[in-house]
Structure 1
Amino acid sequence: MEKEALKATVFRTMPLLDEEWEAFAACWHPVHYKRKTLLTSAGAVEHYLYFVQEGVQRAFYMDDASTETTLVFSYTGSFAGVVDSFQLQQPSRYYLETLTASYLLRISYADFTRLLDTHPNLERWVRLATAQALSGVLQRQIELATCSAEEKFRILLTRSPQVLQLIPQKYLASYLGIDPATFSKLLKSVRV
């Protein structure tokens, strides 16, 4: 039962044959982390890909002045991890931390690559999932570059209304590229 949400998420991208799913599912192992646990540090190579059973995580970049910029959130039913570092086995440029206690499934890089080498359909699934993720990243880049603070706020609340209950406002403001005071004003004035 603990892998049913993972299966549903995987099959939304592309259904797998029973044999492929069973091999894939067998490589995911449960892990639990307390809130504010650093899972990946900048400069380290990501060794795991995660699937969120419960909890909220964020990936963030820290500049030379130690200013944090939130890049992405992951929460129940989504994949998490520093995917570029994981797939390329290169040092990460950013951090991944838990914002809440998190119950995750994880797969190691060794198991992941072995599965892709053994099951061509899994490699196809990864290609399609990566393309979907890239499409979302590019859409976000367009929004960051072309939308006003209010438009970005409205898009966030329309796309993911639950984030206000899950994620501290300072991280949401950082994610939108606006200062916390502007975020607070928008929270009071904008209705979606």
Structure 2
Amino acid sequence: MQLMHQFLLKQVAISDEDWLLFSSRFEQKIYPAKTFYLKAGETENYLTFVDQGLLRFYIEDKEGNDTTIGFSFEGWFMTVFSSFYTRKPSLYYGETLAETTLWRIHYDDLQEMYSRLKIVERIGRLATEQLLLLKSERELSFLLKSAEERYLDLFHKAPHLLQQVPQKYLASYIGITPQALSRIRKRIS
């Protein structure tokens, strides 16, 4: 949990006492590679910190084709917010791409921590704001940028993904085919 503690200290001034209480509500969960963290139709019950590993989130159409919506990697909080906060079944799948170690807190425990610790409420607000900004930025990139520009943005913001994530998932994430991504990579190299 040291990585999560360091991450939070960069965001907020959490006291040792508050950290001990908050962190006591987390449980560790380890998933092998290529394992579902969450399936469409299941309700997201956890706010999770990725201690080690990598996950991909995607949706599947009626024909079984999937579109990558996002990635979660080491040193970040994650949840399927639309399911977590509404308590309704998820439309997303979450799958590990590598062996993944998570620290997770159940929805009910988080709600209790929100009411007991003001700093946890602040952590939740900051996490939600960061996610909203990422989602807004991604939405604008689809409206205003070319596929090549979206790839270059990904290259500059998350270069580790380019080494860890299969090309077909990266292509899906930026809204193009793997063949088009291959052409872009050749053109800019």
For Structure 1 versus Structure 2, the TM-score category normalised by the shorter chain is over 0.9
Instruction: Give 1:151's aligned residue.
Output: 149
Inter-partner Cα distance in structure 1 for 2:78 and 2:49 = 6
The residue type equivalent to 1:40 in the other structure is L
- Residue 27 (1) aligns with residue 25 (2): yes
Q: Contact conserved, 2:60 with 2:66, CA < 8 A, in 1? A: yes
- Residue 166 (1) aligns with residue 172 (2): no
163-172 or 73-82, which deviates more: 73-82
Q: Contact conserved, 1:81 with 1:96, CA < 8 A, in 2? A: no
SS of the equivalent of 2:103 reads strand
Inter-partner Cα distance in structure 2 for 1:183 and 1:42 = 27
Which TM-score applies when normalising by structure 2? Answer: 0.95
Unaligned runs of 5+ in 1: none
Paired residues, number: 189
Give % identity. 36
Instruction: Give 2:106's aligned residue.
Output: 108
Q: Contact conserved, 2:38 with 2:93, CA < 8 A, in 1? A: yes
Shift of 1:176: 0.3
Moved over 3 A (4+): none
- For residue 80 of structure 2, the aligned residue among 82, 105, 115 is 82
Unaligned runs of 5+ in 2: none
Which TM-score applies when normalising by structure 1? Answer: 0.93
Inter-partner Cα distance in structure 1 for 2:134 and 2:126 = 13
- For residue 58 of structure 1, the aligned residue among 56, 80, 85 is 56
SS of the equivalent of 2:33 reads coil
